[in-house]
Structure 1
Amino acid sequence: MSFRKVVRQSKFRHVFGQPVKNDQCYEDIRVSRVTWDSTFCAVNPKFLAVIVEASGGGAFMVLPLSKTGRIDKAYPTVCGHTGPVLDIDWCPHNDEVIASGSEDCTVMVWQIPENGLTSPLTEPVVVLEGHTKRVGIVTWHPTARNVLLSAGCDNVVLIWNVGTAEELYRLDTLHPDLIYNVSWNHNGSLFCSACKDKSVRIIDPRRGTLVAEREKAHEGARPMRAIFLADGKVFTTGFSRMSERQLALWDPENLDEPMALQELDSSNGALLPFYDPDTSVVYVCGKGDSSIRYFEITDEAPYIHFLNTFTSKEPQRGMGSMPKRGLEVSKCEIARFYKLHERKCEPIVMTVPRKSDLFQDDLYPDTAGPEAALEAEDWVSGQDADPILISLREAYMPSKQRDLKVSRRNVLSDSRPASSSRPGASTATTISDVFSGTFAGAGESGKLQEVMQELRALRVLVKEQGDRISRLEEQLGRMENGDS
């Protein structure tokens, strides 16, 4: 009786990575040499942002995606920080808004002109001051407009309403040591963090409570990472006691033992995980490595399934990942990474090999779109909402963004009690609804509520019509194929 090895079926088993041609790279970029385990790179469907070397301050470069080739040394940068920039993150709800955290202890939020920079940008829309040490992490809330999280080397996590420059929540007792990373869950009701004390924590930011904690998630002393997956499980990377690099999957309901634990190798670069909730594929990039490994996460043991490795000659200094709505669906592209070298940025395209020219429904389920599901005030009041999904069938085209409308005024004339309850608020300036440009002065809150209600009703209607269009398209496709 002959036994043959059963190969697990997966549509992602043959995914392959390919660097783009040289003329499609971004050359002559002086990538930052700061010794910080950030990705140094952030990308969205319009722009590529890279933290760069800057004399006497901190800067990052913002390039329209189409601006490939050699970048002029005099190309303008975003340069308002007085210390090196450590982390940057594009707003998921506005492709022209980016946040940065710096060694100068501040977080700044910037509006990038629609066609990119023509002169250095030194004036942020808002400066958020609340940390006492350098700010190494900034990450936007996935579904609530204007909500931004920052974490500093003061071991404090702050959550801000960027629309009012207001500190919403200060979590200063939950981390006894340096915070390595923070990751929101699918709807932004919780976040998880990896800390230098080797613990992974799951935290409810609005209550300021610790929901679950796992001490010594990885026993090694080198940096860990923890990210939330779409189903609520937590994926971590770290080091064993023998300094071997590890991956693990955890169920927050029971953090006693990992659901899965894999050892990779004995390199010493921190592993940066990038997760695609639509395909349940995790891409793991080691800092200083020259490879990207990718794994499919499933509901069946062994849960973490190795798919393949993309390898190149040059080690990576950092890495950015394109949101799904910025990919070329006609080429069956399921991920695109922007790999930083010493002096250039090289896009790497991950593709599922398919012969058909038709839209591949199974590769592209509806994905998170650029519309916020909640306003900051809704989230603060206790509401949660999943991301508003869009279909990629019509191959995403960047929509024209609304500018940040800034309205500075003294809080003393503001009738809202929330901001005046904060210490020092009387001297602060607030920025009214930064992203939607709506402004409610005293006595206009009723009108604002009306507009908000109408907006929500319209969102629901648009979603229903979108679903109906998809169903009709499917029906038409079946009729054309002679199925009905």
Structure 2
Amino acid sequence: MTFAKMSWQPQYRSSKYRHVFGKPANKENCYDNVPITRSVHDNHFCAVNPSFIAVVTECAGGGAFIVIPIQQSGKLDPHYPKICGHRGNVLDIKWNPFDDYVIASCSEDASVKIWDIPKPYVTKSITNARKELVGHSRRVGLIEWHPTASNIIFSTAYDYKIMIWNIDNEEPIIYSPVRTIECHKDVILSMSFNLDGSLMATSCKDRKVRVIDPLKGCIIQESDGKTHKASKVLFLGNMKKLVSTGTSRWNNRQVVLWDQDDLSVPLHQEDLDGSSGLLFPFFDNDTDMLYLVGKVSLYVSTSHYITAYVL
């Protein structure tokens, strides 16, 4: 009797990128006929949670966004209900990380609004917000929920201020923030929290990256901004590192890795290309993968070194 020798070695190529490559979905699984806004400047025009996708849309006479259930795909009805309570263009939207049915929006009308999304989904247009946060003197460009403290939201506007709000207050309109951080001398372009919310990083139009203590409202670390003009900044999970995207002094698109405890010198920096489109960083804590999304291509890198891949 003869026995064949069998190999139990895996028959696939071992690669840390094996499960990160994707392919476009079929048309029936896509969202079609969505009137995406052209007025969000350099912000995200959409936000997603496990239940819904929210998209800022074009709207005459004010600002609006729509909320679509994740399971509902295909062509969108032209008369789909909207969330339309702002008097100016909506510039940013963010879902509450503690409640899938609460979303915040900010606008050129200098306000932040908190909206309750009816269950199981929106069936008619909503014009009345649960809360309106009024305190900024100029248009509000960015909002971020605190990652560990429920009902705490941060907003930043073109008045160079970061305001911290507690929406547990029962008043429908809140005029006074819990705290105001005034350590920037120009427009804030992005905000990011570390995992426990004890630190906040910002990038500013003055080219600098800053690490801030949100409780004390003081700057802990600050880059010099001489060789790297930062547009977006992001904490890399629990690695105690930051990544920023922007441009070099020669106007090449650039990605830079920082030690959060020392912003005097970058750990690594790399020029990617000469395109003018902004790069948006996204970090996956589960796989330690950093995704840089641009207008032309998608770059993928690990937390240890930076490599560009066009998908």
Contact 1:146 1:162 in 2 (8 A): yes
AA aligned to 2:236 is L
Which digits, 9 at most, give the CA deviation of each residue in 1:151-185, with x for residues without a partner?
Answer: 1011100011011145111012x110010000011
User: What is the CA–CA distance in structure 1 between the aligned matches of 2:274 and 2:309, rounded to whole Å?
Assistant: 18
Contact 1:15 1:308 in 2 (8 A): no
AA aligned to 2:300 is Y
User: What is the CA–CA distance in structure 1 between the aligned matches of 2:118 and 2:283, rounded to whole Å?
Assistant: 29
**1:33 aligned partner:** 38
**2:70 aligned partner:** 65
Instruction: For 1:142-161, list aligned pairs within 5 A.
Output: 142-161=147-166
Contact 1:13 1:307 in 2 (8 A): no
Contact 2:201 2:211 in 1 (8 A): yes
1:273 shift after superposition:
0.5
Contact 1:58 1:82 in 2 (8 A): yes
Contact 1:285 1:292 in 2 (8 A): yes
**1:425 aligned partner:** none
AA aligned to 2:147 is P
User: What is the CA–CA distance in structure 2 between the aligned matches of 1:102 and 1:198, rounded to whole Å?
Assistant: 24
Instruction: For 1:340-379, list aligned pairs within 5 A.
Output: none
Which digits, 9 at most, give the CA deviation of each residue in 1:6-32, with x for residues without a partner?
Answer: xxx752356312111011111111110
Which digits, 9 at most, give the CA deviation of each residue in 1:197-235, with x for residues without a partner?
Answer: 001000011111111100216534xx6111111222111
Instruction: For 1:228-239, list aligned pairs within 5 A.
Output: 228-230=235-237, 231-239=239-247
Question: TM-score when scaled to structure 2?
Answer: 0.90
User: What is the CA–CA distance in structure 1 between the aligned matches of 2:75 and 2:227, rounded to whole Å?
Assistant: 42
**1:313 aligned partner:** none
* Residues 1:202 and 2:201 are matched in the alignment: no
1:256 shift after superposition:
2.0
AA aligned to 2:202 is S
Contact 2:272 2:308 in 1 (8 A): no
Which digits, 9 at most, give the CA deviation of each residue in 1:283-332, with x for residues without a partner?
Answer: 1111x32x2211110xxxxx22427332xxxxxxxxxxxxxxxxxxxxxx
User: What is the CA–CA distance in structure 2 between the aligned matches of 1:19 and 1:116, rounded to whole Å?
Assistant: 26
Q: Equivalent of 1:225, from 226, 229, 232?
A: 232
SS at 1:308 equivalent: coil
Q: Equivalent of 1:177, from 181, 186, 205?
A: 186
1:105 shift after superposition:
0.2
AA aligned to 1:140 is W
Residues 80, 217 of structure 1: alpha-carbon distance in 2 compared, 3 angstrom cutoff = farther
AA aligned to 1:239 is T
Residues 14, 99 of structure 1: alpha-carbon distance in 2 compared, 3 angstrom cutoff = closer
User: What is the CA–CA distance in structure 2 between the aligned matches of 1:279 and 1:168, rounded to whole Å?
Assistant: 36
Q: Which runs of 4+ in 1 moved over 6 A?
A: none
Residues 145, 206 of structure 1: alpha-carbon distance in 2 compared, 3 angstrom cutoff = same
- Greater strand share, structure number: 2
SS at 2:263 equivalent: coil
SS at 1:23 equivalent: helix
Contact 1:13 1:308 in 2 (8 A): no
**1:130 aligned partner:** 135
User: What is the CA–CA distance in structure 1 between the aligned matches of 2:227 and 2:206, rounded to whole Å?
Assistant: 10
**1:295 aligned partner:** 301
**2:287 aligned partner:** 279
The higher-RCO structure (CA 8 Å, 6+ apart) is 1
- Structure 1 alignment gaps of length 5 or more: 1-8, 298-302, 311-484
**2:11 aligned partner:** none
Residues 239, 224 of structure 1: alpha-carbon distance in 2 compared, 3 angstrom cutoff = same
1:65 shift after superposition:
0.8
User: What is the CA–CA distance in structure 2 between the aligned matches of 1:11 and 1:192, rounded to whole Å?
Assistant: 29
Which digits, 9 at most, give the CA deviation of each residue in 1:31-67, with x for residues without a partner?
Answer: 1011510010100110000000000000001000111
Which digits, 9 at most, give the CA deviation of each residue in 1:401-427, with x for residues without a partner?
Answer: xxxxxxxxxxxxxxxxxxxxxxxxxxx
Instruction: For 1:302-321, list aligned pairs within 5 A.
Output: 303-306=304-307, 308-310=309-311
- Structure 2 alignment gaps of length 5 or more: 1-13
Q: Equivalent of 1:213, from 197, 222, 225?
A: 222
Contact 1:244 1:266 in 2 (8 A): yes
Contact 2:56 2:90 in 1 (8 A): yes
* Residues 1:167 and 2:172 are matched in the alignment: no
User: What is the CA–CA distance in structure 1 between the aligned matches of 2:20 and 2:226, rounded to whole Å?
Assistant: 30
Question: TM-score when scaled to structure 1?
Answer: 0.59
Residues 55, 281 of structure 1: alpha-carbon distance in 2 compared, 3 angstrom cutoff = same
User: What is the CA–CA distance in structure 1 between the aligned matches of 2:292 and 2:45, rounded to whole Å?
Assistant: 16
Seq. identity, %? 41
- Greater helix share, structure number: 1
Residues 131, 95 of structure 1: alpha-carbon distance in 2 compared, 3 angstrom cutoff = same
